[in-house]
Amino acid sequence: MTYFIIIISAIFVNNIVLSQFLGICPFLGVSKKISTGLGMTGAVTFVMVIATIVTYFIQKLILVPFGITFLQTISFILVIAALVQLVEIVLKKVSPPLYQALGVFLPLITTNCAILGVAIMTVNRDFNLLEAVVFSASSAIGFGLALVTFAGIREQLELVEIPKGMQGAPIALLVAGILAMAFMGFAGMV
Amino acid sequence: MSIVLITILTLAGLGALAAVILYLASQKFKVFEDPRIDQVEEVLPAANCGGCGFPGCRAFAEALVKADDISDLNCPVGGAEVMGKVAQILGKEVAKSEPKIAVVRCNGTCEHRPRLNQYEGAPSCAAASALYGGETGCSFGCYGLGDCVDACNFDAMYMDEKTGLPVVIEDNCVACGACVDACPKNIIELRKKGPKNRRIFVSCVNEEKGAVARKACSVACIGCGKCAKVCPFDAITIKNNLAYIDDEKCRLCRKCVAECPTNAIHELNFPVRKNKTAVKETATEEK
Amino acid sequence: MLKTFKIGGVHPHEWKLSAEKQIEVLPLPKRVSVPVTQHIGAPAKPLVKKGDIVKTGQMIAASGGFVSANIHSPVSGKVFKVDQTVDASGYRKPAIIIDVDGDEWLDDIDRSDKLVKEITLSGEEIIKKIGEMGIVGMGGATFPSHVKLSPPPGKKCEILIINGVECEPYLTSDHRLMLEKSEELIVGIRILMKALNVNKAVIGIENNKPDAIKKLTELTSKEEGIDVQPLKVKYPQGGEKQLIDAITGRQVPSGKLPIEVGAVVQNVGTTVAVYEAVQKNKPLIERVVTVTGPAIAQPSNFLARIGTPIEQLIEAAGGLPQDTGKVIGGGPMMGKALTSLEVPITKGSSGLLVLPDEAAHRQPVKNCIRCSKCVSACPMGLEPYLLMIEAEKEMWDRAEEDRIMDCIECGSCSFTCPAHRPLLDYIRLGKGKVGQIIRSRQ
Amino acid sequence: MGKTESSLSNMALTLITITLLTGAALGYVYKLTEKPVAIAKEKKQQEAIRLVVPEFDNNPAQEMYLIPTSDGDSLKVFPAKKEGKKVGCAIESISHNGFGGDVKIMVGILPDGTIYNYQVLEHKETPGLGTKMTTWFKPSEEDNVSKASGNAFFNWLFGISNNSGGGNTSIVGVDPTKTKLEVSADGGDIDAITAATISSRAFLEAVRKAWYAYTEIVDTHSSATTKEKNSQEGGMQ
Amino acid sequence: MNQKLVISPSPHIHSGDSIPANMYGVIIALLPALATSVWLFGVGALIVTFTSVAACVFFEWIIQKYLLKVTPSITDGSAIVTGLLLAFNLPTNIPIGLIIIGAAVAIGIGKMSFGGLGNNPFNPALVGRVFLLISYPVQMTTWPTPFASRLQYIDAQTGATPLSVIKEGLSNGQTIPELMERIPSYLDLFLGKTGGSAGEMAALALLIGGVYLLWKRIITWHIPVSVIGSVVIFTGILHLANPSTFADPLFHILTGGIMLGAFFMATDYATSPMSNKGMLLYGAGIGIITVLIRCFGSYPEGVSFAILIMNGFTPLINRYMKPKRFGETIKTARVQTSK
Amino acid sequence: MNQWSNFTKGFFKENPVFVMLLGMCPTLGVTSSAINGLGMGLATTFVLVMSNIVVALVKDFIPEKVRIPSFIVIIASFVTIVEMVMQAWLPALFEALGLFIPLIVVNCIVLGRAEAFASKNSVGSSIIDGLGMGLGFSLALTILGTTRELLGSGKAFGLPIFSESYGMLVFVLAPGAFIALGYLIALINKIRRAG
Amino acid sequence: MAGKNQIEHEGIVEQTEGDHVKVRILTQSACASCHAKGVCTAADLQEKIIDASSDRTYSAGDRVTLVGESRLGLQAAWWAYILPLILMLGTLIVTFSLTKDENLSGLLALAILVPYYLLIKIFNKKFLKTFSFTIKPSMD
Ligand SMILES: Cc1cc2nc3c(=O)[nH]c(=O)nc-3n(C[C@H](O)[C@H](O)[C@H](O)COP(=O)(O)O)c2cc1C
Ligand SMILES: Cc1cc2nc3c(=O)[nH]c(=O)nc-3n(C[C@H](O)[C@H](O)[C@H](O)COP(=O)(O)O)c2cc1C
Ligand SMILES: Cc1cc2nc3c(=O)[nH]c(=O)nc-3n(C[C@H](O)[C@H](O)[C@H](O)COP(=O)(O)O)c2cc1C
Ligand SMILES: Cc1cc2nc3c(=O)[nH]c(=O)nc-3n(C[C@H](O)[C@H](O)[C@H](O)CO)c2cc1C
Ligand code: SF4
Ligand code: SF4
Ligand code: SF4
Ligand code: SF4
Ligand code: FES
């Protein structure tokens, strides 16, 4: 049941984009294509989970035992930056065609704040490993949910005449705001 | 162990590991972006109009930097000035392209070309052209529904309410050609801007036989050929009952203007003629 | 429940003003103008030149390709000129203009009223004859009938459907034809059945023409393999694909022809013309035209020669009313607004509708409120609101993906839209562009 | 440009130098801030204790001990003594039933069992609603200190009645044996924060928990010093 | 001929349907509910409704005229509908200031920022309502007791709605059968004799309005049926599984905003899907989310949130749930090739 | 580019938040009050200036290929310093900003300036650049924070302006952050277009 | 019918080999699609060389558009990310619930990726066929 609560909480109640404000840049900036949004979600989830596992161990096996938790930020960011690149290198080595296909279809995933933020959030919450992983995967899915819904709305808004002053970022933020308002309905569900 | 030592060790360890990976990655993936691309992009007008044939100014900048010969690449918005700067940055030659401008080759104003019908469909020339030939007897003429105006990204065109014809604002037009593509009747043409903005062209595209054309529109080109005869430079050809002035050959002598029985040939920005009798109605709607 | 098609459809008011009016023969005009493109496909090539003397029924232009049709002189007289004249859309198209002189027909045409039941020609000969006689679809699309009757190899026709639906408001020409030429119609069906080598034919008639249903049911009760199928009134039931769906329950797949589901559809007018061509040797030189409109003094059904100026038909129906706003060639849903009254009627003209000024104008266009009424109305299951935007914003890829090419241009969408959006205008534009793109891809 | 060239040794050297330098710098700053951070943390707790019990002269944090509650939490108890005499107890209590999550409070209880004061330590309630708990359950003078008072017309426009905040809301000085520490909607004696019954309930639950825990200790180990020693290791964190 | 003939592409006739016709149709359909509301709550209902409608129309006018600089189109009735529906979602003792804020948010943020009628992805009235609910929960969750103080507005006597009674009670450990005693009879609920927002309680009156909308073809059956149907099915399952914590389906559809939501708010043209399939999915989504919020969330009522959330999904639904295209049935394609 | 315009461009013309839409997460996440916004802005400014200085100083010694890892280390160190200092001496602000302090590391403005400016320019101009951008960021966050605080709870920098009960709670919560920023950007766009 | 559900990406021809063309493309990180491209050049632009088949001849330097079905994008994401993710989660859950040893299960979860990617390497030929692109000239 706790896992269930973690999942529901991370996806709906405390959605990382709509209520935690993480990963806003890709959320606002990523292509308006829905399929791209879906692919992105897969990639982000994968990276987030790996990053969570690795940072979890760094925290547990290095930082805490040596009493150097203040190195959390710097070590996490280095590890995550390296990991993201590592995934790319491995993919390129292992399967060039796959790697190429991803290159054409998906924007790259870099160390955006969602990944670092989730990694820090997980270690700060005293989760065990499995909980941590479930949490980060659900957060990523929450990210995807917001991203895809948003892509859909944006695609639709492309078709109508938005008042000049509101075009672009303002209307996107407004939609995000209303979505966030709607998602508040899930409050207390965990 | 002192905390400082542990810190240094951990960081050095993690740092080295991460650095190796990042280094490998950068070696494998890092793009070498020619810094000149940025420089070139800087001088481009950032209109992102696509007039150059590339998806945006950045893409054009890339192409310019990559191309060996940039003489057939041109930014219509920035014109020779910008291309000169680009050439300077890149140390390459530019072709001296003569500035061009859009001209509307229809003079079928409400008064010259009586409206026989009243169109009430979608306000789009393209939609109208799929349906019928136009509100007047001339099925070559302008619909006046402004697809060209909509296509222009530079506010260089507007619809003259009185005449029902589009007007090009000389100062704004960058000769991107968007309007040319938009017009379903091929009325708009990019022509040489001409010295002091002076130019002469046949303001009609009607290919009907003379009598029919004349009946539909009092200022139609009737293909009589008088202008071609009088032109000292062989700049005028008649095809399908329609005269066309080649702007490469035309030397702006204005003989044809006076000769045209229907005033179909327009001269722009010329000083007023001294010879009174030859003065015909000059087109003044283009300002 | 009465049969009808499954998706969409609308219910315009019927306005069948001339339903009770017998077909009258229109007097010959003084001069006819016969366009060389009266059908879908390549223009026919004129065979006559200025000054030639022609007889009624004489071929004056020959089919210009595989999909094309012969054209015959509708009158006798002297060719005034072969030149461009304004057509109904205001563009100038080549036409043969003939000054009428008497009414001298070719000798081999049987002008009597006698019903010839016996079909002597073989299937192939029938199709050849139909081609020679310049028969084209008279239901509106003017597709050369001989092409339609020769299914591509490998495809077999299983059912012949006779389109007596006439779902357009105001129009009554097919209705009158079914009543007044019922016997000829039945023979025509037999001829088509023979040509197509099918043993089943169904006449689809909407329920608002009970007299025609009754009469034809009586006649066909004796006929093996020919049935009458009454249909629920719903526009655009007359659309080929909708009619096939209504009658057989089969739906022609996107981008395919009716033969894909084993059906061939012919209009009643076409069928009668086929009878006349095959049994009486009479080419397609005249047709029934409904002249109607709210302010027309005598809404009528005329049998008129091809090439007769529209003015003359309207004159015969009591003249053009004072406040005419729009003259439409065809019905109010699919017909074309005419730019002038000098244009002639052609093989495809089923009616002339004169609308008063107040009814001629469109309402101001508003934003789409996404009410989805157009989606519910579309008989092809398309999303007109979206297609319009895609056409407007030149998103051709998406328009193609959203099946803009499936649109049958029935107008149901524009008809229903509460925001008065010119949906079909833009969809048509989009179809044109997307069609070009598809063609250039091949 | 005079950039160092990208040879492997160069790069390794640069990176190692950088990490060494930053490592040293960070370690140094950590040393510098270590104390202040600890002090800041401690001060927060001290402050909270100071606020909720009468004046004392011992170090309650040092004498802290844990007591378990029936629902599996353990509460931290900070005994406050003046001149060796117990003047009260600060208890850190928690409820898991807040609107947005856990509600963590510090409650001060006097030796006679009445509540001296409280302080909200952590909560995730909605700002402007549940957050009112920080002042709501204190006597009303303390409540409206920082508020700009509205004018009558706007109060009418926004439907704010002037007597809000009145009623039976304070738990300060209350003896839980006499006053039922539950929201009035549930039959208790305390008025809930308007439209934040859930938060109020959670808050009162935490208070009750502390109080029951307290009375239990008082009952069973009224002067049990052994307990205090046993739980020493749970001390400062 | 001297007359100029009008040229336009086909079709040349129109059904006569128009935006105002639809909007005024909705207004008419809302009248029974308004009447019920006045019967129950008296002047409060009138004041709230009037203020809301006036404010919505005013904001639409002023924004169109001075900010967007287009000709105001307030006569099309859509702002009136928004105003009415906003009012119907507010308690009848809500202070005027909040109504005005709600209207400004509904029209300004919810509708005009997107370019006005038809462009907005979210239901304007609900944007206004949820904004108020989150901003002013106190005022938004005190409902006047029916019949109690029909001549009073702000100071009306207040009471709980059936749903908040249930929510409160459950969180206090009471069971549904116990709580049902405190709830008016189902007949009273059906007639609307209970506390709640201005226009949401009168199931009967709303049903009459809904039938009118269906009869006038202003809406189709898909959304209302799937909303109510999914609520019934979902709560039915829950109720069967555990009758002591989950109320029965009838209770759920008779209380709160289900009827108002299903017939009037989920059906809002601009924010609901375009295809029938899509509408069914959308309605089901609304029903399920509503029940989730009611039964598991902390809000006693979830219709507004559910509709807004599904509004967010509408573009996706439109993208992937296309109407059934003609000729898609595979059966037909096969017939002739076999012979 | 002269130094003054280099300094001021971040305030308005190239404001990282309103114009370039960078660093949206902290912008939205910490601006529930003006003081938080300002605090975050200044913390970021510190990191920006310091890392700009260091990057400008060491730019010539860093081989091209390890540029990015080096920059990350440098920036992360300053972030960590800010973290520790704040925790020690500004614990309340530290708690309010929470997660967003470590996230300064990934703020595009910081890495972006280091990459695009400091690694090509002198120390002096790098300081000015960092200071300008940082103050522009702080300005934006403060404006947004003030707006939200005022609308949400009737206060500005904690000072009551009008009764808290009039405030629109939404603006203190997540949705209000998006909405307020949306309209602020619209407003700024309008001003920019007009001016 | 072509043209449906396609995704396009601009690129420049690097070299040609028979009917195969190597195209250089630029991928951008999610952040880079924002307006700050010029500012934020950090590690988020990458060049990739893509193999594509072509029906006509191109020469190096030509600007082309890569065309592939957008379904392939999701398919690629599936093989590259989602399937290993599921594997990883699965391993983690199974080993964790069996052993209750965090370190071991964490290690195993990461380790499972090694055989997975090796497997992918084996199936490379297949992918080569699936993930193919065609190119067309850009903007005539
Ligand atoms: C290019 C083309 C080819 C056609 N080929 C055939 C054919 O081979 N057989 C046939 O029965 N109909 C054929 N048709 C006719 C159509 O199926 C249809 O009957 C015609 O377009 C008129 O239909 P409508 O009046 O419903 O629009 C063809 C139409 C077109 C445009
Ligand atoms: C929307 C629409 C409505 C139509 N209505 C009729 C009709 O009422 N009667 C008719 O005979 N043909 C109608 N047609 C034409 C038919 O689709 C089809 O072309 C015709 O029945 C084929 O017969 P024909 O080739 O003999 O004309 C309609 C076509 C469309 C697209
Ligand atoms: C945005 C929002 C936030 C809320 N936050 C809280 C909260 O923090 N604490 C709380 O007890 N109730 C909160 N509520 C109110 C609950 O939903 C519920 O109405 C209330 O707790 C019980 O109602 P009552 O206090 O009027 O009896 C909030 C409501 C809204 C709309
Ligand atoms: C059937 C129907 C339902 C409507 N429901 C709403 C509604 O729930 N909320 C609202 O603000 N407007 C509603 N409107 C009015 C109008 O459509 C709405 O303001 C648009 O969303 C504005 O684009 C409705 C209109 C109709 C015809
Ligand atoms: S007038 Fe035509 S050519 Fe000139 S800028 Fe406008 S669109 Fe381009
Ligand atoms: S010039 Fe061409 S595009 Fe412009 S209004 Fe005339 S017809 Fe339309
Ligand atoms: S015209 Fe086309 S889109 Fe419109 S209803 Fe008819 S088939 Fe559908
Ligand atoms: S009928 Fe008109 S208003 Fe309704 S969805 Fe279609 S286009 Fe939009
Ligand atoms: S600040 Fe850019 S993603 Fe968070």
Averaging pLDDT over each range in C405-409, F6-10, F110-114, which range is the top one? C405-409
Indicate the number of domains in chain C. 2
Find the domain containing E103 and state its range. Answer: 19-319
Which of E95, E141, E142 faces D157 most closely, judged by CB atoms? E95
- Single-letter amino acid, residue F24: M
Sole residue written with tokens 């393999």:
C225
Nearest to E224 by CA among E270, E315, E286: E286
According to DSSP, residue C152 is labeled P
Averaged pLDDT of chain G: 70
pLDDT for the residue E57: 97
List of residues 6+ apart from E319 with CB closer than 8 A = A34, A152, A155
Find the domain containing A44 and state its range. Answer: 37-141
Which chains contact D through at least 3 pairs of Cβ atoms less than 8 Å apart?
A: A, B, E, F
Sole residue written with tokens 């008497």:
C102
Q: What is the pLDDT of residues C367-381, one digit of tens each?
A: 999 999 999 999 999
| Closest ligand to the CA of C382 | 7
Q: What does the alpha-carbon distance between residue E38 and residue B117 come to, in Å, rounded to a whole number?
A: 56
Pull the structure tokens for residue D65: 């001990």
CA atoms within 13 A on the CB side of E230: 23
Taking each helix axis from N to C end, the angle separating E96-104 and E124-135, rounded to the nearest 10 degrees, works out to 130
Q: DSSP letters along chain B, please?
A: --HHHHHHHHHHHHHHHHHHHHHHHHHHHB----HHHHHHHHHS------TTSSSSHHHHHHHHHH-S--TT---TTTHHHHHHHHHHHHT-----PPPEEEEE-----TTTS-B-EEE-S-S-HHHHHHH-S-SBS-SSS---S-HHHHH-SSS-EEEETTTTEEEE-TTT-----HHHHH-TT--EEEEE--GGG-EEEE-----S-HHHHHHH-TT------HHHHH-TT--EEEETTEEEE-TTT-----HHHHH-TT--EEEESPPPPS-GGG------S--
Which of F64, F68, F74 has the highest number of chain B CBs within 10 A, making it the mutation to test binding with B? F68
C-alpha dist (Å) from residue F23 to A112, E264, F141: 10, 41, 11
Q: Which residues of C touch A160 (CB under 8 A)?
A: 367-368, 389
Q: Residue C48 falls within a domain, yes or no? A: no
CA atoms within 13 A on the CB side of C380: 23
Q: Does D153 touch chain E (CB under 8 A)?
A: no
Taking each helix axis from N to C end, the angle separating A129-157 and E303-320, rounded to the nearest 10 degrees, works out to 70
Q: How many CB pairs under 8 A join A and E?
A: 99
More confident residue, G28 or F188: F188
Which range among C99-113, E316-330, F6-20, G42-56 shows the weakest confidence by mean pLDDT? G42-56
The neighbour count for residue A3, using CB atoms within 10 Å, is: 13
Place D144 in a pLDDT band, splitting at 50, 70 and 90: very low
Query: For chain B, how big is the Rg over CA atoms in Å?
Result: 28
Place G138 in a pLDDT band, splitting at 50, 70 and 90: low
B277 has pLDDT over 70: no
CA atoms within 13 A on the CB side of B190: 15
Q: What is the pLDDT of residues B55-91, one digit of tens each?
A: 567 667 777 777 777 766 777 777 777 887 887 787 7
Which of B29, B65, B73 has the highest number of chain G CBs within 10 A, making it the mutation to test binding with G? B29
pLDDT for the residue D79: 87
pLDDT for the residue D123: 85
Averaging pLDDT over each range in A166-180, E182-196, F84-98, which range is the top one? A166-180
- Inter-chain contact F179–A173, Cβ cutoff 8 Å? yes
C-alpha dist (Å) from residue C357 to B115, C58, C169, E289: 17, 41, 18, 53
Find the domain containing F71 and state its range. Answer: 3-16+24-194
Q: What does the alpha-carbon distance between residue A61 and residue G71 come to, in Å, rounded to a whole number?
A: 42
Which range among C117-126, D75-84, E95-104 shows the weakest confidence by mean pLDDT? D75-84
Fold of the B36-90 domain? 3-methyladenine DNA Glycosylase II; Chain A, domain 3 (1.10.15)
F99 lines ligand 9 (CB under 6 A): no
More confident residue, F31 or G71: F31
B30 has pLDDT over 80: no
Q: Is B110 flagged in the annotation as binding?
A: no
Of C239, C261, C280, the position where a domain reaches its end is: C280
Which range among B162-176, C230-244, F155-169, G51-65 shows the weakest confidence by mean pLDDT? G51-65
Pocket test for ligand 4, best of E18, E23, E82, E197 (most atoms within 8 A of CB): E82
Indicate the number of domains in chain G. 1
D236 has pLDDT over 70: no
Place F179 in a pLDDT band, splitting at 50, 70 and 90: very high
B284 has pLDDT over 70: no
According to DSSP, residue C144 is labeled B
Q: Are strands D65-68 and D74-82 parallel, antiparallel or unpaired?
A: antiparallel
G8 has pLDDT over 70: no
The mean pLDDT value for G68-92 works out to 82
Sole residue written with tokens 């299903």:
E262
Q: What does the alpha-carbon distance between residue G40 and residue G48 come to, in Å, rounded to a whole number?
A: 19
B178 has pLDDT over 90: no
pLDDT for the residue B1: 53
pLDDT for the residue G59: 65
Q: What is the pLDDT of residues D32-78, one digit of tens each?
A: 888 888 888 888 888 888 888 888 888 888 888 888 877 777 888 88
Which of F9, F14, F18, F22 has the highest number of chain G CBs within 10 A, making it the mutation to test binding with G? F22
Averaged pLDDT of chain E: 89
For ligand 4, atom 10, the nearest C-alpha belongs to E82
CB-based contact G60:G13 (threshold 8 Å): yes
Which range among C143-157, C326-340, D116-130, E255-269 shows the weakest confidence by mean pLDDT? D116-130
More confident residue, G33 or A39: A39
Q: Residue C160 falls within a domain, yes or no? A: yes
For ligand 8, atom 4, the nearest C-alpha belongs to C371
C-alpha dist (Å) from residue G96 to A61, D105, E240, G103, G107: 18, 35, 36, 9, 11
CATH 3.30.70.20 fits B101-191, yes or no: yes
Q: Which residues of C touch G3 (CB under 8 A)?
A: 397, 400-401, 437-438, 441
Nearest to F164 by CA among F184, F178, F150: F150
CB-based contact C385:C420 (threshold 8 Å): no
Pull the structure tokens for residue E253: 């559809």
Q: What is the pLDDT of residues C58-71, one digit of tens each?
A: 999 999 888 899 99
pLDDT for the residue D219: 54
Overall pTM > 0.80: yes
How far does E95 lie from chain D, in Å, by closest CA? 5
Place C158 in a pLDDT band, splitting at 50, 70 and 90: very high
pLDDT for the residue C424: 94
The mean pLDDT value for B153-164 works out to 88
Q: Which residues of F touch A70 (CB under 8 A)?
A: 80, 83-84
Nearest to A41 by CA among G120, G117, G78: G78
More confident residue, E187 or C265: C265
Share of chain C above pLDDT 70, in %: 100
Q: What does the alpha-carbon distance between residue A39 and residue A35 come to, in Å, rounded to a whole number?
A: 6
Task: Assess whether C257 and C389 both reside in one domain.
Answer: no
Q: Percentage helix, strand, coil, to 5, in chain G?
A: 45, 30, 25
Query: For chain G, how big is the Rg over CA atoms in Å?
Result: 20
B77 lines ligand 5 (CB under 6 A): no
- Inter-chain contact B118–E6, Cβ cutoff 8 Å? yes
CB-based contact A17:A142 (threshold 8 Å): yes
Q: Which CATH number fits domain B194-287: 3.30.479.30, 3.40.50.2000, 3.40.50.300, 3.30.70.20?
A: 3.30.70.20
Q: What does the alpha-carbon distance between residue C174 and residue E226 come to, in Å, rounded to a whole number?
A: 44
The mean pLDDT value for D150-167 works out to 67
- Inter-chain contact E326–C372, Cβ cutoff 8 Å? no
Q: Does B22 touch chain D (CB under 8 A)?
A: no
- Inter-chain contact E98–D185, Cβ cutoff 8 Å? no
- Inter-chain contact A71–D99, Cβ cutoff 8 Å? no
Q: What is the pLDDT of residues C292-318, one digit of tens each?
A: 999 899 999 999 999 999 999 999 999
According to DSSP, residue F57 is labeled H
Residue window 103-122, chain E: list those with CB within 8 Å of chain A. 109-110, 112-115, 118-119, 121-122
Find the domain containing C395 and state its range. Answer: 373-441
Q: Residue A88 falls within a domain, yes or no? A: yes
Nearest to F103 by CA among F44, F51, F55, F54: F44
List of residues 6+ apart from A78 with CB closer than 8 A = B14, B15, B18, B19, F69, F72, F73, F76
Q: Is B138 flagged in the annotation as binding?
A: yes
Place G46 in a pLDDT band, splitting at 50, 70 and 90: low
pLDDT for the residue G54: 65
Q: What does the alpha-carbon distance between residue E4 and residue C325 come to, in Å, rounded to a whole number?
A: 8
Q: ipTM, 2 decimals?
A: 0.87
Q: Return phi, psi of residue D78, to 5°.
A: -115, 105
Pocket test for ligand 6, best of B147, B150, B158, B205 (most atoms within 8 A of CB): B147
Q: DSSP letters along E205-256, please?
A: HHHHHHHHHHHTTSS-SHHHHHHHHHHHHHHHHHHHH-TTTS--HHHHHHST
For ligand 4, atom 2, the nearest C-alpha belongs to E268
Place A30 in a pLDDT band, splitting at 50, 70 and 90: low
What sign for the dihedral angle of Cα C300, C304, C307, C309?
A: negative
pLDDT for the residue F59: 82
G73 has pLDDT over 80: no
Give the CATH number for residue E39: 1.10.3430
The mean pLDDT value for F46-75 works out to 85
For ligand 5, atom 7, the nearest C-alpha belongs to B152
Q: Residue E292 falls within a domain, yes or no? A: yes
Nearest to E179 by CA among E195, E192, E194, E168: E168
E strands in G1-140: 6-17, 20-28, 45-53, 63-69, 134-137
Burial of E231 (0-12, 13-18, 19+ CB in 10 A): buried
According to DSSP, residue C160 is labeled E
More confident residue, B25 or C115: C115
pLDDT for the residue F46: 94
Q: What is the pLDDT of residues B144-157, one digit of tens each?
A: 999 999 988 888 99
Q: What does the alpha-carbon distance between residue D91 and residue D89 come to, in Å, rounded to a whole number?
A: 6
pLDDT for the residue D7: 65
Place C413 in a pLDDT band, splitting at 50, 70 and 90: very high
CB-based contact G23:G76 (threshold 8 Å): no
pLDDT for the residue E256: 85
Q: Does G61 touch chain B (CB under 8 A)?
A: yes
* Prior bond of C144 cis (ω within 30°): no
Q: What is the pLDDT of residues E147-177, one digit of tens each?
A: 877 777 777 677 778 888 888 788 777 888 8
- Single-letter amino acid, residue C384: P
Which of B3, B16, B23 faces D27 most closely, judged by CB atoms? B3
C-alpha dist (Å) from residue B278 to B85, B112, B203, B263, B273: 45, 20, 18, 11, 8
pLDDT for the residue B17: 78
Taking each helix axis from N to C end, the angle separating A169-183 and A129-157, rounded to the nearest 10 degrees, works out to 130
Q: What does the alpha-carbon distance between residue B32 and residue C384 come to, in Å, rounded to a whole number?
A: 48
G78 has pLDDT over 50: yes
**Residues whose beta carbon lies within 6 Å of some atom of ligand 2:** C 137-141, 143, 148, 163, 165-168, 174, 236, 238-240, 265-267, 270, 334, 408, 410
Q: Which residues of G touch C390 (CB under 8 A)?
A: none
More confident residue, G71 or A98: A98
Q: What is the pLDDT of residues C206-243, one digit of tens each?
A: 999 999 999 999 999 988 899 999 999 999 999 999 99
Which range among B224-228, C178-182, D40-44, G43-47 shows the weakest confidence by mean pLDDT? G43-47
Q: Is B183 flagged in the annotation as binding?
A: yes
Nearest to A107 by CA among A33, A190, A169: A33
pLDDT for the residue G60: 64
Pull the structure tokens for residue C365: 């266009």
